[in-house]
Each structure stands twice: as structure tokens, then as C-alpha cells.
Chains A and B, each alone.
Chain A
Amino acid sequence: MMKLLESRLRRSLLFSLFLLLLSVSAHAGEKAPQGVQLSIGTILASNESDDFDAKLSKMKKQLEVIKYSSYRLVKEESQKVPWNGNALFEIPGGRTLAVMPQEYRNSRVSLKVRLQEGEKPLLDTTVRIRNRGNFLLGGPAHEGGVLILSISATVQ
């Protein structure tokens, strides 16, 4: 009985060692993240109608947090930027959104975000979001409603 147990223990420990080596080699082969794919969706929210843009269906629950009756996707833009590189996005109304990915830690991307109108800065913020996650930045008035920016980042 003891011999059987010893032999099984030896086999199980060898198997564990094999799994550990496999795991270590798999992680060693991983590439460090090269950059970030940034996606900006510009949404016009207003109370002038009850229309909901079908292209925003995936975000419906998120947008319900903001109490407007109508949502329309005005613009969608995506850019791949290196770490600490600056991505500029043109926002309707002569505004610019600058996004700089700073670091990736604990599956979260740290983004430095600046919104400005012409030369006038409107907002500076640093936000950490989950990889492939997003956050909403809203408030700038536009065409009888307000603009809501959905800012998302995917580590490449």
C-alpha cells in the first residue's frame, strides 16, 4: 500500500512539475504589449426625439445611465498608438480629444485624456480602464443636445 502511494505521489509530483514548466514556458513566450488600439465613439444625445441609433445597441444599457431620450452615433474613429504616444481625435464642434496610453497594469490601461475646444482646455483627466473596456465622457453642447464620447482601449 505504501509503495503504491509513494509511486503515485512521485508520478503526481512529476506531473505537477511538468505543468509548471509548461506554464512558465508559455508565459515566457508571451509578447509584451506593443501598443494600444484606442476607439472613440462620438454620440449626440438630446431630448428632441425618441430615436435610438441601432449602431449603439451594444451600449444601450450604458447610455441609459444618462437620461436623454435620443442617441445618435455621429462619428467613430480608431487609432493604434504606442505607449506614451499621443492620439488626436477630431470631435464635432471644433473640439479635439487627445488620448495618451500610459501603462498597462493589473489588466488595466491607464489613459491620460485631454479635451479641448480650439486652444482652450476643457478637461484633463487620467483614467484607468479595463482592457477592452470603456468609459463615457459627456457634456459638450452640440446641435441642441450634448456630445457623449465613449473612450475604449484594447491592448495589442
Chain B
Amino acid sequence: MKTNCETVKNSLGAWLDGELGHADAEEIRRHVEGCPACSGERRRLERVQVALRGVLETESSRVAFEPFWDGVRRRISEERPRQARLWEWARPAFYPQRLAWAVPVAIVFLLAIFSLVQYAPGWRWGVNRGNVAAVDSIDGHGFNVAVLRESKTKTTVIWLFESQEEDDEASGEPTAKEPSF
């Protein structure tokens, strides 16, 4: 450390408070002992410290710290509103430098959804999702036809059957008599 008076004066407070390392403290001590100006500065600082300590010791007993600490404890344990916590959690995402990447991230997300729909058609949103077939037209040529859509297994069944009356007249048995579902 360069021990000119300016440097020593800047470090005097830290030295008196014992905040300097051993080597620096020794250097300051040697300089102060040999320098009348710095020695005078040291005495002035010591007087200020003694005076401050006296005031603090006298006045601190009159300061009511308990309500202050109670307030601190209350604020620490206070439950913040959900919106405030959510905003605190999400706020970093809205930093401008991160927001700049929102555009490509949104594009990647949209492309991913588009690709999923294109290459994995089983993956659909909404009404098109699943295996449910749409029957656009149907003609049983005199036979009864039932269409069943089962939502749980996304199954569509077209069932061909003869009514009981027609069955009595029919010679053969080309279809089932009634749907069995």
C-alpha cells in the first residue's frame, strides 16, 4: 500500500474500526505514529467516535425497537396476494432482452403444432381429434342401417340389419336381424 497522507486519511476510519488486514493496518500505524498531521486526524476521528458512542448509548435506551421488529416480522410473514407472487415469478420473462426472443419462440411453437398435425394426424385438437369417422352419405338399399359413434374408444360402427317384418318375408338371411349394440 502506498502510504502517503491522502491514502492514510482515507483508510483511517477502517483502521480504527479494525477492518484492515494485518499488513495494511501495520503500515497505517507506522505512518500515523511518524506523521503529526495524520496523528491529529486520528485523534479527531477517535473523539468523534467516542462522542457518537456516548450519544448512542444514552439515546438507544429511549428508542422503542420492539414495535420496529414486530413490523419487520409481520411484513416477512405476511402472505402476498397471488397476483403479486405470479407477477414476481413471471417478471423476468418480460425483460426486453428476453422479450426479443419471444417472436422466434412463438414461431417455433406454431411450427411444432403445425408439424404435429401434418405428420402425426392422430394428434388433433377439438372435434377432429381421434378416430371418429364422419359418415357423409349412406344407403342401405332396403336394409335398415344404424350408425353408432362411441366417444370413449372413438369408434364408428355402421350396422346393417333387416327389420323383423322384412325378415318374415325374406327367404334368406343376408344380414343380422337387429343391431346388437
The answer on a CB contact under 8 Å between B136 and A126 is yes
The answer on a CB contact under 8 Å between A106 and B100 is no
B85-129: CB near A (< 8 Å → 1, else 0) gives 000000000001100110110011001001001100110100010
* Partner among B155, B156, B160 whose Cβ is within 8 Å of the Cβ of A115: B160
Q: Which chain A residues (128-156) contact chain B, with CB distance < 8 Å? A: 128-141, 146
Give the complex CA separation of A128 and B121 in angstroms.
14
Main SS of chain B's interface residues?
mixed
The answer on a CB contact under 8 Å between A65 and B104 is no
Query: Which chain A positions have C-beta within 8 A of B135?
Result: 125-127
Give the complex CA separation of A111 and B145 in angstroms.
18
Give the complex CA separation of A141 and B162 in angstroms.
11
Give the complex CA separation of A122 and B173 in angstroms.
12
Query: Which chain A positions have C-beta within 8 A of B174?
Result: 117, 120, 122, 140-141
Query: Which chain B positions have C-beta within 8 A of A107?
Result: 117-118, 121, 124, 128
Stretch at the interface among A12-20, A48-56, A73-81, A82-90: A12-20
Give the complex CA separation of A107 and B97 in angstroms.
39
